[in-house]
Amino acid sequence: MAGRETFFCYACNRRHEAASATGRSHARYDIDADASTSAVQAHIREFYLQTKGVQAALRILGFADVRIHPPRFGSGWPQREEVEHRFRALVKRHHPDAGGDADEFRRIHWAVEILRRYRPRE
Ligand SMILES: [Zn+2]
């Protein structure tokens, strides 16, 4: 750890003791780890955009109570089957051919695409 006893974790938005269990498992979220500032900033920006996208997508598909921790990569993701099930039910209900709202229909497709793309590999 090169003498660093704590580091700032961008997943939890606070510092961890490097030697603690949480610190060891969150070492990959260490904001101070990368020597290249621009690479770090690009990574953080991408991380927050993806996190916000995932949260919005969960809301649209009706998973308002879902909390993923650490954000995006952590545990708490709804089951893949449950996501697809809700997607199919919402698409049916909001289909423009059945009198549904076209914008809502597009949002539902956007949301399921975000959750398919950014779900961490199991
Ligand atoms: Zn953390």
Which domains, from first to last, does the chain contain? 1-33 (no CATH), 38-118 (1.10.287)
The rounded Å distance from CA 79 to ligand 1 centre is 23
The rounded Å distance from CA 70 to ligand 1 centre is 7
The rounded Å distance from CA 14 to ligand 1 centre is 7
Whole-number average pLDDT of the chain: 85
Q: How confident is the model at residue 85, as a pLDDT?
A: 97
pLDDT tier at 16, thresholds 50, 70, 90: very high
- DSSP assignment letter at 40: H
The rounded Å distance from CA 85 to ligand 1 centre is 32
The rounded Å distance from CA 41 to ligand 1 centre is 18
63-110 pLDDT per residue, tens: 989 989 888 888 899 999 999 999 999 999 999 998 998 888 988 999
Element (H, E) at 17: strand 14-17
- The average pLDDT across 21-36 equals 77
Cα dihedral across residues 73, 75, 76, 81: positive or negative = positive
pTM: predicted TM-score of the whole model, two decimal places:
0.67
- The average pLDDT across 9-21 equals 85
Helix 102-118 × helix 37-60 angle, to 10°: 130
The rounded Å distance from CA 23 to ligand 1 centre is 7
The rounded Å distance from CA 57 to ligand 1 centre is 23
Residue, of 52 and 122, whose pLDDT is higher:
52
Greatest Cα-to-Cα distance within the chain, rounded to the nearest angstrom: 64
